[in-house]
Every structure is written in structure tokens, then in C-alpha cells.
Chain A
Amino acid sequence: MRVALFVTCLVDALFPDVGKSTVRLLERLGHEVVVPSAQTCCGQMHINTGYQGQALPIVRNHVAAFEQADVIVAPSGSCAGSVRHQHADVARKGGDEKLAEAAEDTAKRTFELSEFLVDVLKVTDVGAYFPHRVTYHPTCHSLRMLKVQDKPLQLLRAVEGIDLVELPDAETCCGFGGTFALKNSATSTAMLEDKTSAVLSTEADVLTAGDSSCLMHIGGGLSRLRSGTRTLHLAQVLENTR
């Protein structure tokens, strides 16, 4: 299958390894990966901070960038969620009905990585090998906006050598929330503290999730605590082989 990678702005600029792992993983599974160069960002930060008007050209750019793609895969639950649940609305509110329809069409072709692997490709064993103690945080947008359910866990369970441990209160938000972490930093920090202590209680070597943004936040907290737990995106765990 020819897969268009929606790499997301955060991965492009700050976490290129997540993008590389996603490419390698998809290629290993026998698919052709293309990266439409016109892409930038889904505009979620603008939308969620109350700048829908300014998100409109970003949405327009995104829709145009992926117009030709048969199937679009993003290593991010929240960006896939934004495409799926916010883009058409932004276009409609901006008075562009044609764009709204095109955005609905893009939404239908867009998948978060674990959804794509499990629902579209119908694989759970991607042939990965990762001999470490790992715990998984189901990020809010993957969990509730996209309802990925236990797809990431199905993939992780099939990894050879993995010691998968359950994260206490896993479904509680880590407190990132985009600009929420800045606007309500004290509250966000209180939420982060509970999340990092839950992570530490698992004694995992690696915390994994399907969103680089949440991992950046939790990883930032773990690093401040000088804890030995690393954060790795789901794609990075799944890319590993013997």
C-alpha cells in the first residue's frame, strides 16, 4: 500500500526519530511511504487555544497537501483527532463549505498509527523485539477522541521480549493539554506529578505512548526528577528488531 505520512509539526521539528521509526516500520511491513512536502501542521494548537480563524489557512494547507493520498497515517492520536473531529468544523465556521467537504474526505482517509496497523493492515505482530520493561500511557485524544481502545496494547503485547507492565490510573490525563500547560501551569504541574509518580511506581525502563506531545511533557517531568525512565513513542518501540 502507498501510505502518505502525516509527520506532524512536533515530530518534524523536535522528534524526527519518531518519524524515522514510523517510516522504517511501515516499509518493513512492505508498504511504500510518501511524505507530501507541502504539509506543515494540523493547526490544533490554534484551534484549541481559540484561534479558529487563524487555523483556517493551516487547515486549507493540510487538506491540499494530502489531496492525492489514498491513506494518511500520523504517529499522533491528537493530530489525527484534530483532522478527524475539528477540521471540517473550522472550515465551516470560516464559511468555506467546499473546504469543509474536502476536510471530511481527508478525515476519512486519516488514521493514527495503531489504528492503521490493527484496523487497516490487520496486523498486531509487527515482528518487533524490545527486551525491556515498558509501561503504556493511553493519551486522552487517542483514548477518547479516536477511541483507539486497546490497539496499542495489542501491538505491544505481540512484541518479542517485552515486559509490559500496567500503568496505575493510566487513563487519567497527564496534564499537558497544549497551551493548558502554560496557561494553567500550576494545575498542569499537579497533574504531571501524579502521572510521573505513577510511571515511577511501575519501575519501567520505558514509558511509551502514541503522542509525542504528551511524551514531551511527561518525559520533561521524568527528566527533571532524574529518573531512569525514558520515554519512547510507540513507533520507536515497534520499529526495533532483533
Chain B
Amino acid sequence: MTFLGMPAGGGNLTGTPFPKAARGALGDDQLRRNLAKATSTIRTKRASVVGELPDWAELRLAGAAIKDEVLANLDEYLVRFEEALTSRGTHVHWARDAEEANRIITDLVKATGTREVIKVKSMATVEIGLNEALADAGVHAVETDLAELIVQLGNDKSSHILVPAIHRNRTEIRDVFRREMAGVDPDLTDDPRALAEAARKHLRQKFMTVDVAISGANFGVAETGALVVVESEGNGRMCLTLPRTLISVVGIEKLVPSWRDLEVFMQLLPRSSTGERMNPYTSVWTGPTEGQTSHVVLVDNGRTATLADPDGRAALRCIRCSACLNSCPVYERTGGHAYGSTYPGPIGAVLSPQLTGVDKNPTLPFASSLCGVCYDVCPVAIDIPSMLVHLRSRVTESKRATPESTAMRAVGWVMSDSRRWSRLIRLGKFGRLASRHVPLPGWSSARDLPLPPKQTFRDWWESR
């Protein structure tokens, strides 16, 4: 249920309908090979480090419970968070939607007079389309996360929440660097170390000269106003400490009540996302460093509306670990671009339609075979399959009669009464419909249909 006045999410949350976008990706063999290799490697790693923890099931429930507690009392936690931030000298801004967030951030950046900002990888800023908004205002945003940088230089779109360039292999990355990175060695090889070194040189110069940084946050601690960024490369840390202005863009669902709660997530997140026991860098800050101005922009962009639906709100527990993407057989074959949103994969299929309203993303809830593996791997136990089913209902209910709904109604009428049902299957109508001679679009392209039997089970049973 959405109440009037609840802002709908905008920004990069909507795209080409899934079935169509997926068809394009399915035809790209290189992409499918890249994805299959990357996801299967990380699946194996995840399974082995998760298997090491005997209390994983309990941790997972604890993670879910902490998040649920925050969501149930979000208004109070947000106020506490704001107070804590303000008391330590951080300026807090509230943004209803993508547009408002972009305006606030752009104004803050423009006020510093800079033409360039450095960024710590942040899903929220991708979600709201911040780089595009900054570009419109004449400000260039430089991504410092390696994979995000590859995507940016390649004029490409992220296709994974943790490994945005997962759809690219090393040779493709080398080509992007050679083409787009100013001053790069023209003989750069596709050796991972050489690639990382090239990126490091490129970024170091930015760290030393750019004075404004924009970050996201993996967690915000309501009690103390601390922000937490979890990363693997250390580039984020450079951004957080060196620049004189730091702007952090934080979705309002990112809070945890207290410092102690982080312990749970620091076990759940790295194992679920990169398959590591612990990530290399965790940065925590509770206010500006000396001589620094710090801002936090709290973004709604459809989150309050999501919170209002008791059957959908658990999607806001998500800690963006990407385990559900890496294990999803649909994601593995279509890649992230097919989902048309910043959030791909199973979580994207339930989160994006809720943030934007299902009318703007009506194909995403159907982009799943409901195999359930996403629920099994989710470290905060989001029951994505049930949520998909729920959202499918919201999609069909929001539409007027379609040929599908008419057919469903007719079949439903037959199936709610055994006499109608047995008459239908005895007539062989079901069988004839299902026979090979009537092509069922989409089905008969790759599979034969069984021939209808001469006798239904019912008839056999009665004749016995």
C-alpha cells in the first residue's frame, strides 16, 4: 500500500523490459562465459567460508532481526542518527527522491568551486544517477573503485552490485584502459597486476589533487552517528581522509542500532559477498577530520513506500552482499544489464519494483523461476521467492483484463470444481491444447510437449 505523499523512487531504477533485455544478453556468448566463470568461482568461495562458521544459521537470523528492529522503528533511529551526526559537526540533509538528492549534492559540490570530485563506490549514488547530474552541472566525478572505474571509463553500465565490471574479462579491460586512460602505457598487458598498477597511478594523481569526495556507506550506527564503509582496495580510505569536503550519500535503511550490532554484519557481509573471512579495509568515521567539512545526505527514493508494505519491506534488510546474484541461475545467464536497474539479480527483482512502484517495473517480479536459491544464500534471510510471488500479484492486480488474466480466470473457474475439471480433461481439451500440433509460443522453440494420454488418471481410477 502506498500512501499519498510517499515519494516514488526515481533515478536509475527502470529500463528495458526484462524478457527483451535478457534476449540480447543471452545472445552474447562472451558475456555468458565471463559471467559463468566469475559467478561459479565466487559461489564456491562463499560456500566454503560460510561452511566454516558453525553458527551461521543463528548469525543470519540475528542479522535479519537487527534489521527488522531498525525498520520497525526507523523514524526513531533516523532522528537519533541525525542528532548524533549533528552533535559531532556533520551537516545532515534529507532527500525525498533522486532528484532532490542530486540537487542537494550538486549544490554542495558547486559551492566548493571544484570541477572534479572523487568517489568511493556507492550504490546509492548510482541509484540516483548522481554522476550524470554532476556532469550536467559541469562537474566530473571520478570513480575510485577499480571495477567502477572500468565501467566508467568504458562508458558502460554496472552489471553487478559488488563487481560492477563482472561482465568484462581482462582483455576487454585492458582495451578500455588503453583507449580511455590518459597517459597509460600503450603496451599495457592484460596481466591483473599490470592493470591494477595502471589504475593505481591514474587514481593516485586524483587523490592528491581533488578536494571533494563523495561516499556511500554500508552501515550507519544510529547510536553514535558513525558511518561504515567496507571495501577491498583501500582507495575508499584515501577518499575519506584526504579531501576537505566529504559528502556521504546514505539510504535511510542503512542504519543499525548500535556499534555492537556491527559485529554480526561484519561476519555476514564479507563471507557472503567476496567469499572472504574478512574484507581488507573497513573505515569507520564519526565526524569530520580536522579541517574537513562533512555532509550526510539521507535518501528515501521509494524506501518509505517499500516500508509501508508488510509483505515487501524485508527487501530493505538487504546489505548488498550480492550472494543472491552470484547464485541465481537467471542472473548467471542474462547478466545484470537485463534487469534495467542499478539493482540486478534476485534482490533487484524485488527491490526495484518496490522503490519505483510496480507499474514502472512490471516485468522484474517475473524474472525468476522461483528456484529459491537466493533465499538459501541470503545472509539476512530475505524470502525473495515469496516476495516475488507477492509482487506478481500486485502487478496483475494493477492491470486491466489481459488475455492472460482472462485465461487464468477461465482455468481457475474449471479448477475450482472437480466436475468441471474432469469434464475438461476427459474432453481432451487440455490434451489437445498441449499437443505438439498447437505450438505454444516460447515453449515449442526448444522443447517437445508430451502427447496427451488416451485415458486420464481419473478415468483409470474409476475403471479399476
Contact = CB atoms under 8 A, between A and B. Distances in A.
B381 to A, nearest CB: 13
A216 B450 contact: yes
B365 to A, nearest CB: 7
Interface stretch (A9-17, A113-121, A154-162, A200-208): A9-17
Contacts, number: 198
A49 B402 CA distance: 13
Interface stretch (A32-40, A95-103, A126-134, A232-240): A32-40
Contact of A20 (B393, B430, B448, B457): B457
A124 interface: no
A188 to B, nearest CB: 7
Contact of A14 (B396, B452, B461): B452
Contacts of B449: 216, 220
B375 interface: yes
A49 B392 contact: yes
B457 A16 contact: yes
Given A40-B421, A48-B389, A219-B450, A55 B412 contact: yes
A141 B128 CA distance: 37
A186 B449 CA distance: 17
A242 interface: no
Nearest to A177: B369
B442 A144 contact: no
Per DSSP, chain A at the interface is helix
B357 to A, nearest CB: 16
Contacts of A9: 415, 421
Interface of B: 18-19, 22-23, 26, 32, 329-330, 333-334, 365-373, 375-376, 386, 389, 392-397, 404-405, 408-409, 411-418, 421, 425, 430-431, 434, 440-443, 445-450, 452-453, 455-458, 460-461
Given A140-B370, A180-B366, A219-B450, A191 B333 contact: yes
B442 A224 contact: no
14 contacts: A16-B453, A37-B418, A40-B416, A140-B369, A173-B329, A173-B373, A177-B370, A180-B370, A184-B330, A185-B446, A187-B26, A192-B446, A216-B450, A223-B448
A182 B445 CA distance: 10
A220 B448 contact: yes
A221 B421 contact: no
Contacts of A53: 393, 397
A89 B372 CA distance: 18
A96 to B, nearest CB: 14
B408 A220 contact: no
Given A12-B425, A188-B369, A191-B330, 17 more contacts: A13-B456, A45-B411, A48-B389, A49-B408, A50-B394, A177-B368, A181-B442, A185-B442, A185-B443, A186-B19, A187-B334, A189-B445, A189-B447, A190-B26, A190-B32, A217-B447, A224-B446
Contacts of A14: 430-431, 434, 450, 452-453
A38 B452 contact: no
Nearest to B420: A40
Contact of B416 (A57, A219, A223): A57
Interface of A: 7, 9, 11-17, 19-20, 23, 35, 37-41, 43, 45-55, 57-58, 60-61, 65, 85-86, 89, 93, 140-141, 143-145, 171-173, 175-193, 216-217, 219-221, 223-224
Nearest to A86: B389
A184 B18 contact: yes
Given A51-B393, A220-B450, A184 B367 contact: yes
B450 A13 contact: no
Contacts of B434: 14
Contact of A140 (B371, B386, B431, B442): B371
Given A173-B329, A190-B333, A48 B396 contact: no
A182 B439 CA distance: 12
A167 to B, nearest CB: 15
